[in-house]
Structure 1
Amino acid sequence: MEVLKLLSLFLILHQSWSDLVTPTSATESPIRINGGQPVNETVPFQVSLQLQRRGRWQHFCGGSIISAQHVLTAAHCMEKMKVEDVSVVGGTLNWKTGGLRHRVLAKHVHPQYSMSPKIINDIALVRVTPPFRLERADFGAVQLGGSDRIGEKVPVRLTGWGSTTSATSSAKLPDQLQALNYRTISNEECNQKGFRVTRNEICALAVQGQGACVGDSGGPLIRAGPQPHLVGIVSYGSSTCAQGRPDVYTRVSSFLPYISQVINQDLSQ
């Protein structure tokens, strides 16, 4: 299976980021999150996970603030990382400038995370210091919602600094946060389109030219409406982005007990 996750890991672990990704005025992988639009309003829960390369911090994955000390992201973003090499930047729409940088104290990759024979349990929590200043307007924890499973044809919103080109071999990261509004599809339809998803995943699909891409991994999928909440974490998709195939997300509602367990464990230490 050709997956964004594998490509993200390849980019991060096997070459200098600056050799593979050319930052532009539009982030990492899709055509503006492939077909999305630059975000102008505050997204207080959105963060950029960054890795230092050649003396510069570089964006490699997204994440969502879920408590004063915790970020929710994809397991594949953090599995191979040393916590001392990663920082978290929040409170900004531009991953290069502004915002506040936080050091990573600990990572919690789901103990049953696996990439073979298929991708499962692609979820991780990152604990930061100092705590996020949630009293500020540009910071805030996203609501996780309840255990109800999101169905098909539900309006959702993806935000991230993923590549604005469809070819992952020449990924270009926008500086400005991007957003894409589209809809979920059923897991059955997602499987029919070539993916082997589990009940712990959600798929979303837009028209050709729109979708997630490398660099969006770990970022938030938000259910739209009067009480927006986090329903998905960018996990994987096709190696060529936004070509009319689904994007696959970790289903947050399936992991609420795990998330609570990790947070409570950290806070009790």
Structure 2
Amino acid sequence: MLVLQLFCMLFILRQGLADVETPTTESPNRINGGQRVNETVPFQVSLQMQRRGRWQHFCGGSIVSGQHVLTAAHCMEKMKVEDVSVVVGTLNWKAGGLRHRVVTKHVHPQYSMNPRIINDIALVKVTPPFRLQRSDVSTIHIGGSDRIGEKVPVRLTGWGSTTSSTSSATLPDQLQALNYRTISNEDCNQKGFRVTRNEICALAVQGQGACVGDSGGPLIKPGLQPHLVGIVSYGSSTCAQGRPDVYTRVSSFLPYISQVINQDLAQ
């Protein structure tokens, strides 16, 4: 039976928020594909929690409104809002950018991890509102209801671990990117997963893929109008070993996203 892992920093929570190593040398086998991001990714956020007076990255997310971030439910389910902040407008999660306080979280009411992971989606509301007039901070288009099929070029960005072992995760300071392609849900199931219609799978070559710390982050369909198609959810117990990465399918949750945002902004 294939062992699954959620791609958030669960090992930090299990080990009493133990300090995470950061890389001191360049690694040729970065789990996120070996490509450092040098251009602005204005919708990318770092979800951070405080540990011994320092902020620590634990999940990613995407700006979808002037005050909302879309992320994975498993990132926020057990977190207190007062313990979490959102950093935007930077490629380095440790430095620069703007920090926003989380005031409300909305974990999907049907989110579950048993008997399978479903509805792994959440939104958080921040204060103050994002400075969307800045060139390095903006929302990402969440597209229409059209379903993304197989063999579609997609792009993952995140600060996930650059080692394959989840017990000794090593986070890069600089944002990483991976360009790869979706596979069909049928193919994903044949490779050992039990995905639903509300999920997307993507697969790269061995040595490339999502890992611990990437959870909640964006899967983008590039183009003239890039749009968000997936949220990093889970994968195999050891990262980037030739098995698919599983994403929450954003197009399946557009009514839920709109309902939460409109409800929050009306208050």
> What TM-score do you get using the length of structure 2 for normalisation?
0.96
Secondary structure of 2:18's partner?
helix
Per-residue CA deviation, residues 158-204 of structure 1 (Å, 9 max, x unaligned), is: 00000001111110000000000000000000000000000000000
Question: How far 1:227 sits from its partner (Å)?
Answer: 1.4
Match of 2:84 in 1: 86
Secondary structure of 1:32's partner?
coil
Q: Give the alignment of 1:157-236 within 5 angstroms.
A: 157-236=155-234
Match of 2:53 in 1: 55
* Structure with greater helix percent: 1
CA RMSD of aligned residues (A): 1.6
* Alpha-carbon contact 1:4-1:217 (below 8 Å) kept: no
Question: How far 1:25 sits from its partner (Å)?
Answer: 5.8
Per-residue CA deviation, residues 46-102 of structure 1 (Å, 9 max, x unaligned), is: 000001011110000000000110000000000000000000000000000000000
Q: Gaps (5+ residues) in structure 1?
A: none
Aligned length: 265
Match of 1:2 in 2: 3
Distance in 2, matches of 1:267 and 1:168, equals 38
Question: How far 1:31 sits from its partner (Å)?
Answer: 4.2
Distance in 2, matches of 1:25 and 1:232, equals 31
Secondary structure of 1:158's partner?
strand
Match of 2:246 in 1: 248
* Alpha-carbon contact 1:25-1:174 (below 8 Å) kept: no
Secondary structure of 1:157's partner?
strand
Distance in 2, matches of 1:167 and 1:12, equals 14
Per-residue CA deviation, residues 213-262 of structure 1 (Å, 9 max, x unaligned), is: 00000000000122110000000001100000000000000000000000
* Alpha-carbon contact 2:71-2:122 (below 8 Å) kept: yes
Match of 1:64 in 2: 62
1:24 aligns with 2:38: no
Question: How far 1:9 sits from its partner (Å)?
Answer: 5.8
Residue type at the aligned position of 1:161: W
Question: How far 1:26 sits from its partner (Å)?
Answer: 8.6
* Alpha-carbon contact 2:32-2:158 (below 8 Å) kept: no
Q: Gaps (5+ residues) in structure 2?
A: none
Distance in 2, matches of 1:203 and 1:88, equals 27
Residue type at the aligned position of 1:24: P
**What is the percent sequence identity of the aligned residues?**
82
Distance in 2, matches of 1:39 and 1:24, equals 16
Match of 2:15 in 1: 15
Distance in 2, matches of 1:160 and 1:26, equals 19
Distance in 1, matches of 2:34 and 2:109, equals 34
Distance in 2, matches of 1:128 and 1:94, equals 20
Secondary structure of 1:164's partner?
coil
* Alpha-carbon contact 2:72-2:233 (below 8 Å) kept: yes
Residue type at the aligned position of 1:205: L
Distance in 2, matches of 1:160 and 1:134, equals 21
Residue type at the aligned position of 1:267: L
Distance 1:211 1:70, change over 3 A: same
* Alpha-carbon contact 2:32-2:176 (below 8 Å) kept: no
Question: How far 1:12 sits from its partner (Å)?
Answer: 3.7
